[in-house]
A and B are shown apart, each in its own frame.
Chain A
């Protein structure tokens, strides 16, 4: 519906659309020359001082070009959408359009250190919920005209804006095209977080493994853009999406590129080891003790055997119970306020660790195994990559409990098949290792000295 020349008609039309919207203010004004003006805005989202300026400007002259940010909108529906986003619409008699000015000023969280991706070294700022702030942070890091922000909108009801960011010189056209193709197919009536887009556009949403990386750090995002990846930043979400993602990206922390490279290489190998431990340790323990006791050195095995005397559960069940309990503890502690969270862990450690062993329900080695697994599972820099490992531990445990190391090996083969067949936006998931890529030595298992390799990684 077009904007009418008459303010009164516009007024009626708007009020019909926006009935029962208590937060929207209609403010009719009459200018000295008897022309009617209508301002429509949301009070809480509008900067009062600026609004006053506009009103006084209107009163004096009908000179709206002095406004810093405005556009003329011809369609009423568009006006409504803008107003609902916090803009102020100004209707003036005799003009078949509305001036829409962005006078938004609302309370938002300050830029803070990203809590899920803390770094010892490197910048401490993290994304906030506001898209513009986030974009400005990226623009400050990459001040180059080739950095592009493609604006999109999705969500019939939420009308959420999101931006596809890329660097024109670096990104492969096919990748960009593929991202756009998938975004075009994407439609939803609600877009509350970047997770909605992620689930919709990733290659295999049935997979346990994340195929799109998410980050709260502008520096990580910028580095990825420079490496030719594409980012999606959604208004209202502090987690930006990065694609394509490889498995190894989930094992890399932001400061890997700021710390000294030998240390980083060692830490990366350690992370890989811990990652494997976090899903294999319980199953291998169960397989060894119940199927292949000849593998365990005699002295160690006799102590294990001695500590298991009188335990009522089979080892598989014992491990399964303790693992479940551990996951429960972790989940319980996650949502609780910090003060109570620590109480949960104390209770858990005491009850499960001490009492169960003392009472002879659970053997001591199992507690150690579960604790070791827990520690290993915290070593992932990327939370979303730690999830599949946490989950896969259980099927592997069952496989190990029923068919020993052969079961574990077959389980591992199944997981690896999935990983080698998985692709993220056309890029094999295990990229620089399988298939082997150019930056195998530069930035996968280890990170090479930046002096000797170009630090930009190609996708």
Chain B
């Protein structure tokens, strides 16, 4: 009995003398988004979007006077760690990285190469790998952090959510890291830009519509945008759904394609490398400006075939463009060779950057129209083109 009570007292003592790591929740400065840029004189600039909880409260209480619930702080220096200390020096609260949702890399920094800054994203055990990472198209990371979105107090979160609905979701950092060390694939990153088309949208709306292409040394070499970027992700196998609109020759038709899949067969014939890419998906018609009666199989089949041919050509063109313009295998075709021909791959892996542009790619698309939408035929009298 006495021994047990001694144990209990010792334990209690350890508790009472403790509290080294205790920190009230409002002694933390929650770091929501990071911007990394190259400053004019070639130094590294780090910006942090920090939550200001007091501002957050008014949004619920009806006050909501458009006060920002965040503050953006920047620091310039030569090494990342040094910057962290500089940011901390500007804050009354302890910085907390556990809730960082996204990282924005300025395009100039991305083009210079980001090898040196990647380590910190995974090493710190406070941070999560579930972070989104963007390259800022023609701009600085800081600019994105300054955007005041009407949807959320934090532009860093808005970007993540937008990315989810448009392309990848919040696993971008993991996906980039996955691709970094592999021979048969080159990393790609979503790009974000401030939409400045009209005055009202400026500083409020951000766009995620392009993809940055990196080479082996993590230098950005180019970008593909819009439809091409979606096709790229489709071939890569990460795209889940998309809207497509095609001109069929007798009018346009819009589809919402889901359950997207890709299968790649590869072949090595002598010195020639061949890849057969098959893309599949099922679609729902959103808009039909043709006279085709989609509910009739006899009319739908030819349309599907036509659509698939058009799409296949587009995808082939996109691949060709990437092959020739940038020469970086962002599609992961090399990995497909790796999987199917693991033994030959050992000879190919080191010269893949040279081989990739010469790979002969054949694309076939199999989109099926599963639903014709709420109506079968068009309602008579609407847009008849006789």
* Interface of A toward B, CB cutoff 8 Å: 206, 289-291, 293-294, 298, 301-309, 311, 314-316, 395, 398-399, 401-404, 407, 410, 414
CB atoms of B18 and A315 under 8 A apart: no
Please name all residues of chain A whose beta carbon is closer than 8 Å to the beta carbon of B126 when the two chains form the complex: 294
Chain B residues with a Cβ closer than 8 Å to the other chain, count? 32
Mostly, the B contact residues are: mixed
Q: Is B25 an interface residue (CB 8 A)?
A: yes
Alpha-carbon distance A12/B26, docked complex (angstroms): 84
Kindly list chain A residues whose C-beta atoms are within 8 Å of the C-beta of B30: 293, 298, 301-302, 305
Q: Which of B88-143 contact A (CB under 8 A)?
A: 96, 98-99, 101, 126, 128
Chain B residues closer than 8 Å to A206, beta-carbon distance: 1
The interface residues of chain B lying within 8 Å CB-to-CB of A307 are 57
- Asked if B22 and A290 make an inter-chain contact with CB atoms under 8 angstroms apart, the answer reads yes
Known contacts A294-B99, A402-B16, A403-B15; A309/B24 CB under 8 A: no
B8 contact set on A, CB distance < 8 A: 414
User: Given A398-B15, A402-B18, does the pair A290, B23 have CB atoms closer than 8 Å?
Assistant: yes
A88 to B24, CA, bound (A): 74
Q: Which of B19, B96, B101, B157 contacts A401 (CB 8 A)?
A: B19
A304 to B60, CA, bound (A): 12
Partner pick for B25 among A301, A395, A401, CB 8 A cutoff? A301
Which of A206, A290, A294, A316 has most B Cβ within 10 Å? A294
Q: A303-B56, A401-B19, A402-B19 are in contact. Are A294 and B11 (CB under 8 A)?
A: no
**Assembled-state Cα–Cα distance A218/B110 (Å):** 79
Contacts beyond the supplied A289-B24, A293-B98: 5 A-B pairs with Cβ under 8 Å: A290-B24, A294-B96, A402-B19, A403-B15, A414-B11
- Complex Cα distance A402/B96, Å? 19
Task: Say yes or no for B51: interface residue by CB 8 A criterion.
Answer: yes
Residues B26 and A293 in contact, CB atoms below 8 Å apart: no
Assess whether B54 is in contact with A306, with CB atoms less than 8 Å apart. Answer: yes
A206 to B22, CA, bound (A): 33
Residue ID in chain A nearest B59 by CB atoms: A306
Known contacts A306-B56, A309-B53; A291/B15 CB under 8 A: no
Closest to A399 in B: B15
Q: Which residues of B contact A (CB under 8 A)?
A: 1, 8, 11-12, 14-16, 18-19, 21-26, 28, 30, 32, 51, 53-54, 56-57, 60, 69, 96, 98-99, 101, 126, 128, 157
- Measured CB to CB, the closest approach of chain A to B6, in angstroms, equals 14
Q: Which residues of A contact B54 (CB under 8 A)?
A: 306, 309
Which listed residue, B15, B21, B57, B96, touches A309 by the CB 8 Å rule?
B57
- Closest partner residue, chain B, to A309 (CB atom): B54
User: A414 contacts which chain B residues (CB < 8 A)?
Assistant: 8, 11
A314 and B24 contacting across the interface, CB-CB below 8 Å:
yes
Which of A289, A291, A301, A311 counts the most B-chain CB atoms under 10 A from its CB?
A: A301
Report chain B residues within 8 Å CB of A290. 22-25
Smallest beta-carbon distance A456→chain B, Å: 37
10 pairs of A and B residues whose beta carbons are closest in the complex:
A294-B98, A306-B57, A305-B53, A402-B18, A306-B53, A306-B56, A289-B25, A402-B15, A402-B19, A308-B26
**Residues of chain B lying within 8 A (CB to CB) of residue A402:** 15-16, 18-19, 22
Question: How many inter-chain residue pairs (CB < 8 Å) link A and B?
Answer: 86
**Residues B128 and A294 in contact, CB atoms below 8 Å apart:** yes
Chain B residues whose CB sits within 8 angstroms of the CB of A399 once the complex forms: 15
Closest to A316 in B: B22
Contact partner, A304, options B19, B23, B25, B157, Cβ 8 Å: B25
Given A294-B99, A301-B30, residue A308 in contact with residue B25 (CB < 8 A) = yes
Please give, as numbers and ranges, the residues of chain B lying within 8 Å of A311 by CB-CB distance.
Answer: 26
User: Could you write out 13 A-B pairs with CB less than 8 Å apart?
Assistant: A290-B25, A291-B21, A293-B99, A294-B126, A301-B30, A305-B30, A305-B56, A306-B60, A309-B54, A314-B24, A315-B24, A398-B16, A414-B8
Contact of A293 with B25 in the complex, beta carbons under 8 Å: yes
CB-nearest residue of chain B relative to A287?
A: B22
Q: Which of B11, B21, B101, B128 contacts A410, CB < 8 Å?
A: B11
* A305–B25 touching, CB < 8 Å: yes
Q: Report yes or no: B28 in contact with A293, Cβ–Cβ below 8 A.
A: yes
Contact B19 A309 (CB under 8 A): no
Q: How far is the CA of A414 from the CA of B5 in the complex (A)?
A: 12
Contacts of A316 in B (CB 8 A): 22
Residue in B closest to A404 when the chains form the complex, CB atoms:
B21
Please, which residues of chain A bring their CB within 8 A of the CB of B19? 401-403
Q: Nearest Cβ in chain B — how far from A310, in angstroms?
A: 8
Q: Nearest Cβ in chain B — how far from A292, in angstroms?
A: 8
Complex CA distance for A206 and B4, rounded to whole angstroms: 12
> Is A407's CB under 8 angstroms from B18's CB?
yes
Q: Is the CB of B18 within 8 A of A403?
A: yes
Query: Shortest distance in angstroms between B366's beta carbon and chain A's nearest beta carbon?
Result: 40
Task: Tell me, rounded to whole Å, the shortest Cβ–Cβ distance linking A264 to chain B.
Answer: 37
* Cα of A422 to Cα of B308 in the assembled complex, Å: 72
Query: B98 to A302, Cβ gap below 8 A?
Result: no
Q: Which residues of B have CB within 8 Å of A403? A: 14-15, 18-19
When the two chains form their complex, are residues A407 and B99 in contact, meaning their CB atoms are under 8 A apart?
no
- Give chain A nearest CB distance to B73 CB in angstroms: 18
Given contacts A291-B21, A303-B60, A402-B18, contact A309 B28 (CB under 8 A): no
Q: Shortest Cβ distance from A291 into chain B, in angstroms? A: 6
In angstroms, how far is the closest chain B Cβ from the Cβ of A311?
8
A291 touching B99 in the complex, CB below 8 Å, given contacts A303-B56, A309-B54, A407-B15: no
Query: What chain B residues lie within 8 Å of A301 (beta carbons)?
Result: 25, 30, 99
* B323 CB, nearest partner CB in chain A, Å: 41
- Min CB–CB distance B44 → chain A (angstroms): 26
For the complex, what is the distance from the CA of A316 to the CA of B15, rounded to whole Å? 13
Residues B101 and A298 in contact, CB atoms below 8 Å apart:
yes
Q: Which residues of B contact A293 (CB under 8 A)?
A: 25, 28, 30, 96, 98-99
Given contacts A302-B51, A403-B15, A414-B11, contact A291 B56 (CB under 8 A): no
- Return chain B residues, CB-CB under 8 Å to A410: 11
What is the CB-to-nearest-CB distance from A408 to chain B, in angstroms, rounded to a whole number?
A: 11
Cα distance, A269 to B99, chains bound together (Å): 34
Closest-CB distance, A295 to chain B (whole angstroms): 8
Closest chain-B Cβ to A44's Cβ sits at a distance in Å of: 48
A332 CA to B203 CA in the complex, in Å?
A: 59
* Smallest beta-carbon distance B365→chain A, Å: 40
Q: How far is the CA of A309 from the CA of B19 in the complex (A)?
A: 21
Residues in A neighbouring B16, C-beta threshold 8 A: 398, 402
CB closest residue in chain A, given B157: A298
Q: How far, in Å, is A365 (CB) from chain B's closest CB?
A: 10
Closest-by-CB residue of B relative to A290 is: B22
B26 engages A309 (CB within 8 Å): yes
Contacts of A308 in B (CB 8 A): 24-26, 53
User: Which residues from chain A contact B1 at a C-beta distance below 8 Å?
Assistant: 206
Distance of A294 Cα from B23 Cα, bound (Å): 13
Q: Which chain A residues border B101 with CB–CB below 8 Å?
A: 298
Residues in B with CB closer than 8 Å to A404 are: 21-22
A369 vs chain B, min Cβ distance (A): 13
User: For B15, what are the chain A residues with a Cβ–Cβ distance below 8 Å?
Assistant: 398-399, 402-403, 407
For the complex, give the distance between the alpha carbons of A272 and B275 in Å: 58
> Considering only CB atoms, which chain A residue lies closest to B5 in the complex?
A206
Cα distance A307–B58 in the bound complex, in angstroms: 10
Instruction: Specify which of B14, B22, B51 is in contact with A291 (CB 8 Å cutoff).
Output: B22
Can you name the residue of chain B whose Cβ is closest to the Cβ of A294? B98
Bound Cα distance A308, B128 (Å): 25
Could you tell me the distance between the alpha carbons of A410 and B157 in the complex, rounded to whole angstroms?
36
Partner of B26, one of A298, A305, A398: A305
Nearest B residue to A288 by beta-carbon distance?
Answer: B25
